[in-house]
Structure 1
Amino acid sequence: MTGYAPHPDESDPAAEASEAAEAVAAGYGGAAPPDDDGTGARLDELVRGVDAPDVVLAVSRRGRRTVRCGGRAAPPPVPRDRARYELGSASKVFTGLLLAHLADTGVLSAAAPAASFLAPERPAARHPITLTHLITHTSGLPPLPADFYPQAVRRWATNPYGHYSSDRVISAFLRARPRHRPGAHWRYSNFGVATLGHALAAATGTPWERLLTERLLRPLGLPDTAARPASRAVDATGHRADGRTPTPPLDVGGFQAAGAVRATPYELLTFLEAHLLPDGLPLEGALRAVQRPYLRRGFGHRHEHTLTWFRHPAPGGPVCFHAGATSGQQAFLGFQPDTGTAVVALSTRRFRRADALVPTAYALLTSAH
């Protein structure tokens, strides 16, 4: 295994991020022309249909961006489209891309057993759980460790993850006895992707947040995207299901890789546009790799899963997407390569029933043709 070399001390992260963002924009021919196809009016109508304190819908069609904001709360001090939002499980697409990049650059093998990094002194298992099993939800692990629930119940509506540390995630993984042989069944698992983050950190000898920043966020030009609240950016305030009660900022404890990322709408569009037009960009190989179908799932096996994205058939071509939720916010990220369309949807309400955000965003994406 090759080592991981951080950026030299004399590098300028802000300049590098700016250059990377400009590279993405240049791929689309520079600045986007003004909205003249009715997209803005449609987004205004859709925003009004989402019952949340703050709502942002953002669309990029072959580089032309249209962003609309609204909500039933009074406008916040910072414009809604400039705030950072909690992505919850949509953070997993960043983790999957990071794994693909580390594999593409020869730092590690995606087929390596996770335990070989987390407990290298242990004898190899006959059927080990690999890094790929963890990101594709085929590890056989449950959604959460069995001992997660007792400590989380009293905090379920606010911050259930914050008191479950990284050491506990790793220990639970090393004790786990999967119900199915790894690779045999698909079962969505926050536990699995959280473990993957710790395995990548151990494999590179680099703390998770620094690894994510230096290997992925900085090269793609995402300076305000991060895995924890930051002093430079303003984070949106989430609300519980009633849409009125504020929730504290998300603390994911040891589940960073599964749900810690926060980002602005514009940086999320930049992230998705990099998938749509990866030619010549940093992480080009990884951006292509995470779009290839890896397995079939769902009723009749009509739906596919890539290394990290859900992939569904749709008019105009397949769409890749992922949604996420925290105790007080919801998010949707998706793109359709054949039409050059990307959709970002964000809200500051944790919907329990009658969720309008995700269906609205999914319909917007699949009707892009």
Structure 2
Amino acid sequence: MTGPRTPWPGVPATEEAAPPQQAPGDERALRERLTEAVHACDAPDVVLAVSRRGRRTLCAGGTAPPPAVPREDLRYEIGSASKTFAALLLTRLIRRGVVTGAEPAAGCLDPGRTPGPHPVTLAHLITHTSGLPALPAGFLRRGLPAWHTNPYARYPAERLTDAFLRHEPKHRPGTRWHYSNYGVSVLGHALAAITGTAWEDLITGQVLRALGLSGTALRAEGPETDAVGHRKDGRTPVPPFDAGGFQAAGAVRSTPNDLLTFLEAHLDPDRSPAAGALRAVRVPVLRRGLGHRHVHTVGWFRHPTDGGPMYFHSGATLGQQAFLGFRPDTDTALAAVCTRRFRARDPFIATGYALLAEG
């Protein structure tokens, strides 16, 4: 990564050559495949949006009657896939020299604090190597009364940052990978503190506006703009998701077309004002597991295919799910959303992954 010093040394400006142009695929076959996949997802509302070599195909359906607003025009909660937006924001700030990524997060939140010998840095937080648990202490007890509606709303920003400043990580930062909504949420508050800008304004200015994502927001407005989620039974509606103090980890809601625009920017960074950051978030920064088979970039999971790597991230709230991914080798992006809470043997994520893997 060019620009100021970063905690990911040696990251090049580009990772791979641009993919060769390929002949257009069979539009009819793609639509038939997407129609089958919508049915397989078994949710009240499903939208599968594909971009191949710049050509978009959207397929919508579901088990519920069609809403008053077309499904493909509504905004959907993408849950943890919001972390890809947070990663792009952090990378943009690093490239602009606002931060390096090596700053101790506690020092950002409490400028008078003296960092210990092994502080949790901004880079640790975004790469899930902070040593923090998935959720802060006391979250379950505090959120239990609203467990089936909005438990995150009962854990505000002040409580989250206070919990971080009071407690030591379970493991030494940088030594273990453990997925943490808590950690990425702390990152959001640390960046807001160090820039003097609220997270919602920061993500809007640095990512949403920069990429032209006018159909993306962090708060629900109403049934005219936002899809309604459902419980596991697929029939009982749930209130709009309120992320509370966890905005950076899961507050984004977006239309399928906006999600494709976001993914297409990753496929063709040179056309974006965030080109350097978009290229940088594709570069592996850590490997884990047996034989280092699990590869991660700053914000994406990365799996191999016969033609090259595919990048993806899934997410879920209490009533909706999302799967985002892209493949540079085939110039393909996929945004999948549905309005049913994840359940045992849920087919949605597997369906989205298979569609992307097929290229």
TM-score, reference length from structure 1: 0.89
Which residue number in structure 1 is paired with residue 7 of structure 2? none
Partner SS for 1:343: strand
Give 1:354 deviation, angstroms: 2.1
**CA RMSD, Structure 1 to Structure 2 (Å):** 1.7
Matching of residues 281-292 of structure 1 within 5 Å: 281-292=272-283
Segments of 4+ in structure 1 off by > 3 A? 230-233
Distance 1:327 1:298 in 2: 29
Moved more, 203-212 or 229-238: 229-238
Which residue number in structure 2 is paired with residue 119 of structure 1? 110
Q: Which amino acid aligns with 1:359?
A: A
Distance 2:223 2:283 in 1: 36
Whether 1:262 and 2:253 are equivalent positions in the alignment is: yes
Give 1:40 deviation, angstroms: 0.9
Matching of residues 72-83 of structure 1 within 5 Å: 72-83=63-74
Distance 1:300 1:360 in 2: 27
Whether 1:328 and 2:315 are equivalent positions in the alignment is: no
1:25-69: CA deviations, max 9, x gaps? xxxxxxxx8963511111011111111100011111111111000
Q: Which amino acid aligns with 2:137?
A: A
Q: Which amino acid aligns with 2:54?
A: G
1:69-116: CA deviations, max 9, x gaps? 010100000000000000110100000100000001111111111112
Distance 2:40 2:272 in 1: 37
Which residue number in structure 1 is paired with residue 185 of structure 2? 194
Preserved contact between residue 91 and residue 257 of structure 1 (Cα < 8 Å):
yes
Whether 1:208 and 2:199 are equivalent positions in the alignment is: yes
Preserved contact between residue 243 and residue 251 of structure 2 (Cα < 8 Å):
yes
Which residue number in structure 1 is paired with residue 300 of structure 2? 309
Whether 1:318 and 2:284 are equivalent positions in the alignment is: no
Percent identity for Structure 1 against Structure 2: 61
Q: Specify which of 38, 42, 59 is matched with residue 50 of structure 2.
A: 59
Matching of residues 27-106 of structure 1 within 5 Å: 36=27, 38-106=29-97
1:5-28: CA deviations, max 9, x gaps? xxxxxxxxxxxxxxxxxxxxxxxx
Whether 1:225 and 2:216 are equivalent positions in the alignment is: yes
Which residue number in structure 1 is paired with residue 8 of structure 2? none
Q: Specify which of 278, 293, 318 is matched with residue 284 of structure 2.
A: 293
Which residue number in structure 2 is paired with residue 167 of structure 1? 158
Distance of aligned partners of 1:268 and 1:294 in 2 relative to their CA distance in 1, 3 Å threshold: same
Distance of aligned partners of 1:317 and 1:216 in 2 relative to their CA distance in 1, 3 Å threshold: same
Which residue number in structure 1 is paired with residue 343 of structure 2? 352
Partner SS for 2:210: coil
Give 1:261 deviation, angstroms: 0.3
Preserved contact between residue 141 and residue 176 of structure 1 (Cα < 8 Å):
no
Give 1:313 deviation, angstroms: 1.1
Preserved contact between residue 315 and residue 366 of structure 1 (Cα < 8 Å):
no
Distance 1:66 1:315 in 2: 24
Distance of aligned partners of 1:232 and 1:346 in 2 relative to their CA distance in 1, 3 Å threshold: closer
Moved more, 352-361 or 77-86: 352-361
Partner SS for 1:65: strand
Give 1:154 deviation, angstroms: 2.5
Preserved contact between residue 92 and residue 257 of structure 1 (Cα < 8 Å):
yes
Distance 1:127 1:86 in 2: 36
Which residue number in structure 1 is paired with residue 332 of structure 2? 341
TM-score, reference length from structure 2: 0.91
**Structure 1: segments with no counterpart, 5+ residues:** 1-32
Distance 1:248 1:299 in 2: 41
Q: Which amino acid aligns with 1:265?
A: P
Which residue number in structure 2 is paired with residue 142 of structure 1? 133
Distance 1:317 1:355 in 2: 28
Q: Specify which of 200, 210, 228 is matched with residue 237 of structure 1.
A: 228
Which residue number in structure 1 is paired with residue 238 of structure 2? 247
Give 1:216 deviation, angstroms: 0.9
Q: How many residues were matched structurally?
A: 338
**Structure 2: segments with no counterpart, 5+ residues:** 1-23
Q: Which amino acid aligns with 1:63?
A: G
Distance of aligned partners of 1:34 and 1:83 in 2 relative to their CA distance in 1, 3 Å threshold: farther
